[in-house]
Structure 1
C-alpha cells in the first residue's frame, strides 16, 4: 500500500511494496518536503505532449514535482499527506466555460420540475404541493417554478399558459421557467403584477405569445420578454448566499475547479461568498451602458491567479438570437423553419414557412462596433448563438466565444479558426431528447440534422472546442457530457440522461463524435486558454497550480458506455482538498475543507420531482422508466 512513512519506517517501505526506488533513495534531498503526494497512479497531465506520470507532489498550492514514484519519494516528509491512488486516474480539475452558477443555485431552492416529461396535471399537482409546503401566505409572494420540460408538455397537452395556471388554488403570482430559460409561463396574477396588458408590445429581441385572435396574452413569454417584462422580485442577499452555497456543493462534487458564470451582474456576488468559494470564477457582464467598461474594470481582480480562489470580471455577454427548439423557434436561421401543414405536429406534413425567419437581435454593423470598443478596452466577449445565422464578423486580438452553436452553418466551420473565435459547446445536447424528438427535428428538416452539434466538423476545420455545460439548463453531470461527446448518445442507466426513458431517446444523435482526448481538453486546457488562465491552470505541470481531481475509474480505459459510470473521488483547488467522497476520506486519509451534502439535500428533496440533484430517481428508476416507455415520452434538454 502506498502510504506516508513514519520515523521508524524511514525510506525502506517503498521498496517493500515494489515501487522500485533507485539509488536516489539514500541521497540527501535539499528540496522542502511536499504538502501532498499522489502516487501509485495514472497522472494524466494534459500537457502539450499528453504525458502520463505515476506520481505528483504539491507544495504551497503549486505542483512542485511530477514523474515516477521514485522521483517523488524524496519529497515525502513527516508532515506530507500521501495518497496511494492504487492505480486510479488523476487529471486537471474541470473547467466549465459557460454555466449559470447563481441561477443554478437559486433553482435548487425553488419548486423544481427537474426536467421531467410531465403533463399539465402533474405540473399543477407538484406546484400546488410546493405552494402548500413552503409556508408563505402573502398574496404577493411569488412562487417560482424551474426546469420545466416545456417541449414535452406542449407535445402532451398542446399550448398551455395562464388559463391552466389559474386553476391552482392560490392567489399568489406564479412564474414557471422552462428548462431552456428562454420561455416562461405566468398566471394572471403574475401578469397583473408585471403590468402587462393586451396593449403591451413585444420588446426588442422578445416575444409575447397571444391567444387565438391575436389580442389577449396567453401567459407565455419568449427571450427578452421573459427576462425584462416579468416583475419577479430579486432574491435577497441571504437567499443568494444560500443558493451559492448549495450550487458550490454540486460543483465541488462534479470536480469543477474553474468556471465562467455566463450571466452576471454586480448583485450576483454576495459579500459573504469569499468564505465559500472553492474555485476560480470568471464572470460575464450582461448589459451595456456608458459606465460598463469602468464598472467591469473596477470589479475585476487583476492579481495573478494563485492558490486562493479568485473572481475575474473580464468579459461581457450578449444575446444574438433565441433558441431553435420547437415551439419557440426564436433563433436566427439561414433557411426558414418548417411548420406543420395538413395535420398536427406529430402526424402531419411539415413545410418551410418564410414567416418564421428571424433576424439576429443585433445588426452586424452595430455588433462589430460594440465588440471593437470592448476589445480595445481590454474586455472579452461571449455571445449567445443558437442558430446558424447569428454570427459576428470580426478579427483581432481578443477572446470571443460563441456559446452553444447548436445549429451551425457549414460555411462557418472554417471561420472559427480563421477568425480565432472559440465555439463554446454543451456536449450533453448531442443526445436525443424531447427537445429534439419529434418536433424540433421536424421543424429544422432532415437536411440540417448533420449541422446540429457539429463538434467534429468545427474541430476538423481547425478550431478546438471549448466546453460549457450551460447548467442549470441541463442536470449538472460533466462526466455524462464527456460520454456524449465521444458516443453521440446518452446512458440508459443514468437518470440524468434522456436515454434513461428508453426508446427513442436511447438512440444515436446525428453527426460524428470526437476523441476522448479532444473532449477532455475541451473541459480543461481549451477552457483555460479561452479564459486567459492557461499559464496557471488547465494542465498538471511543475509550477502550475494544484487544481486537480481523482477519478474512481480511468476515463481513457473504460468502455465507452461506462465513461460516466463513475465518480469524482477528490477535488483539489490550489493544493487544498475541497471535496472528497466519504469512502475516499476513509481510504486516502484526507479531510476536505467543506462537508459533504449531509442534510442539505434531504431538506430540498420535497421541492424537486425525483429529489434534490435527481438522486432519488435512481431508486424509482425501474418503475418510472417502464411507465414512461409505455407512454412513449422523454425527458429534458436544453438551452440557455
Structure 2
C-alpha cells in the first residue's frame, strides 16, 4: 500500500441483474457461402451475441480497431467488420447496435485492496478530501451522531484521511484532535498513504501503548517532546491498535466483498489482484464464486513478512484451499501471487521509503543534505532467499518497493531468479515511484512488471509538497517514471492501490497521459508534472488491460479482444482515443461483461 490521492472515488451502483437486448436485423447482400440459412458459423454454431457498429479497440499486437465482434459460450469468436459479422448471426443470436460507441477489453487492476475498499464505502469516509481540523472533526462528529447507539465501546474506523492535504498546509493532527470529540468510543483514522494511522487516547489505552512502549520491528510510535505517544502510528506500529479491533463477521465480510465488486464493475474492472490478501477476504470472495455472484476475476497475494515461520507452507496452504484452477469463462479465484513489503512511503514526514542517497532536510526556505535514508524491511540476502523459495514453489512475488534503493534491492533479487534460468515467473515491483536511471532498463531485461499507481503522476500535496523538496531536482525527474520504464522497453501495469488511492480508474488513466491535476484544482496551474514521463493513450490502455493480464498470467485468456479469448469487455460513453485528453477522466462505463456475462449496465444502450 502507499499514499494517494486525487478526486474522490465514485460511489458504486449495484450491477444490473437482467440483460435487456434489442434484436436488430443485419440486412445486406453478402455471398451466400459466408453463412448458411440458420446463421451458423463454420464451426456449426451461431453466436450468442453480436455487437455491431462500434469502435472496437482490441489492444492486440497492432492495436487494431474494428466494427464488430461475436461472443459464443463466453468467448470471443469473431472480431472484424459489420459485413463479416453476419456469418455469426443465427435464429437465437442477440444483435446489439453500438451506435459508434467504443468497446475495449475490461480493465485489469493489478494492485488494490478490495476488502478495505468495500469497508470504506460502508463506513465513516472522508473521501480523500483536503480538510481543515474543524472540517475533519465535523465529518467524524456527523458519523458519531448517525451511530450514537453504538456508544460507548464500539470502535470508530475513519477511512480515506488525506493526511498530506490537511489545511492549512503543514497541519498535523494528534490524539488531542480526536479526544476533543464528544464520545467515549475508541477512534482509529486511517491515512490514505496506507502506512499511518491516528488514534484517540482511548484507543492507545486499549492497545496498552504508553511512553514506555518500545517501537515494534518495522514501525514507529509518534512521540512528543516528553516521550508521550501523540496518537500517530507508522507502519508496523499500527498493528498494535488494529489487532484490538473486532474483526467483521462472515456475513459482514460478504457485504463488504459485494460492495467492492459493484464498485469495480462500475469502473469497468474485470480482473483484479488483492495485494494484501487475508484469509477472511478469500473466504468471502470464494463464497460469492460458489454462489455464481463473483463479477470479476479475482487474484490474491497473501502477505509474506520478515520472520514468518514456514512462509511458503503458509501461502501454499491458502493456494491449496482456495485456488480455483485454470481460467474459465465464469470468474474465479486465483492464489498464485505473494506480497512482500520492502519499504514505506516517500512522503514527509514519514519518509520510510528506502533511498540510495539521504532525503534532503528542508527549513527556513532552503534544503540541505540530511541523514535519513528511509527503511528497508528485508536485507538483500533475506529477500534473495525468500524470492527463490516462492518462485520454486510456483508463486509470483509482488514486491512493494517505492524508493530507489528498495527498487534496486527487488530487482537484484529478481535477477537471481533469472540467473537460475527461470523465465516463467511473473515478477512484479509495485509502485516503483523512484527508480535510479541505472535500473530503468533492468525491468525489460529481467522481464519485471512495474505495477504503477497512475494517480500519483500529477501535482498534488503528496507529490510537489511532500516529496519534491526532499528529493531535489535531479531525483525529482525520476519520480513516477512510467515514461522512462516504457522507453527502456519495460512493461507497466495499472495498480490503483484502492482504497489508498481513489477507485477512479479513468482519472488515473488520464493522469498517466497528461501528468496534470484536475481542471479547477489549485494545482492545475502548475501544468504537467515531469512532462517527459507522460505516456500515450494507447500505452495507458495497454497498461490497464493486456499488461495487467500478463502480470497475472491471463494474457492468453483476457486483456485484449481477440478470437479465442474470454469476452471480458466494456462499452464506454466516449471514445477515449479521440476525445480531448482531460475528458478521459469523466468516462462512464455503460456495460461491463465478464466471460460473456453482463455484470454492470445493460446491453440496451439506447
Q: 1:230-273: per-residue Cα shift (whole Å, max 9, x none)?
A: 32222222222111111111111100000001011211131542
Q: 2:589, 2:46 → 1: CA distance?
A: 27
CA distance in 2, matches of 1:53, 1:487: 27
Structure 2 counterpart SS, 1:322:
coil
How far is 1:360 from its partner? 0.9
Identify the residue that residue 56 of structure 2 maps to in structure 1: 43
1:422 positional shift: 1.2
Q: 1:179 aligns with which of 192, 202, 208?
A: 192
Superposed CA offset, 1:264-297 (max 9, x none): 1211131542233111000000134323143133
Deviates more, 1:133-142 or 1:116-125: 133-142
Report if aligned partners of 2:426, 2:551 keep a CA contact under 8 Å in 1.
Answer: yes
Verify: 1:325 aligned to 2:353, yes or no: no
Cα distance between partner residues in 2 of 1:52 and 1:24: 26
Give 2:309's aligned residue.
289
SS of residue in 2 equivalent to 1:86: coil
TM-score when normalising by structure 2: 0.89
1:357 aligns with 2:383: no
Is 1:480 aligned to 2:507, yes or no? yes
Q: Supply the distance in 2 between the matched residues of 1:586 and 1:48 (Cα, whole angstroms).
A: 29
Q: Provide the residue aligned with 2:4 in structure 1.
A: none
Cα pair distance change 1:245/1:293, threshold 3 Å: closer
- Equivalent residue, structure 2, for 1:563: 584
Which residue of 288, 296, 299 corresponds with 1:279? 296
Task: Give 1:228 shift.
Answer: 4.7
For 1:372, the equivalent position in structure 2 comes to 388
Q: Please give the secondary structure, in 1, of the residue aligned with 2:150.
A: coil
1:420 — aligned with what? 447
SS of equivalent residue, structure 1 residue 126: helix
Partner of 1:257: 270
Contact 1:453 1:511 in 2 (8 A): no
Q: List gaps (5 residues or longer) in structure 2.
A: 1-20
Deviations 1:388-418 (A, max 9, x none): 1103213322222110111111111011122
Partner in structure 2 of residue 547 of structure 1:
568
- Counterpart of 1:107 in structure 2 is 120
Residue of structure 1 aligned with 2:486, choices 431, 439, 459: 459
Q: In structure 1, how many angstroms separate the alpha carbons of the residues matched to 2:164 and 2:582? A: 28
| Cα offset, 1:428, TM superposition | 1.5
Correspondence for 1:216 among 223, 228, 231:
228
Moved more, 251-260 or 125-134: 125-134
How many residue pairs get aligned? The number is: 560
Alignment of 1:219-234 (within 5 A): 219-230=231-242, 231-234=244-247
Q: Which residue number corresponds to residue 71 of structure 1?
A: 84
2:498 aligns with one of 452, 471, 485:
471
Deviation at 1:555, TM superposition (A): 1.6
Per-residue CA deviation, residues 599-633 of structure 1 (Å, 9 max, x unaligned), is xxxxxxxxxxxxxxxxxxxxxxxxxxxxxxxxxxx
The whole-number CA distance in structure 2 between the counterparts of 1:169 and 1:186 is 15
Task: Name stretches of at least 5 consecutive residues in structure 1 with no aligned partner.
Answer: 6-10, 493-499, 588-640
| CA distance 1:310–1:26, shift in 2 (3 Å) | closer
Would the alpha carbon gap of residues 138 and 559 (structure 1) be closer, same or farther in structure 2, given more than 3 Å must change? Answer: closer
CA distance in 2, matches of 1:419, 1:234: 40
- Cα distance in 1, alignment partners of residues 309 and 318 from structure 2: 11
Partner of 2:529: 509
Per the TM alignment, residue 447 of structure 1 is displaced from its structure 2 partner at its CA by 2.1
**Distance of 2:432 and 2:170 partners within structure 1:** 30
- The structure with higher relative contact order (CA 8 Å, sep 6+) is 2
Q: Tell me the CA shift for residue 586 of structure 1.
A: 5.5
1:448 to 465, 475, 498: 475
Which of 518, 524, 528 is 1:491 aligned to? 518
Alpha-carbon contact 1:320-1:383 (below 8 Å) kept: yes
Q: Which residue of 2 aligns with 1:388?
A: 404
- Please show how residues 188-199 of structure 1 align to structure 2 within 5 Å: 188-199=201-212
* Offset, 1:99: 0.7
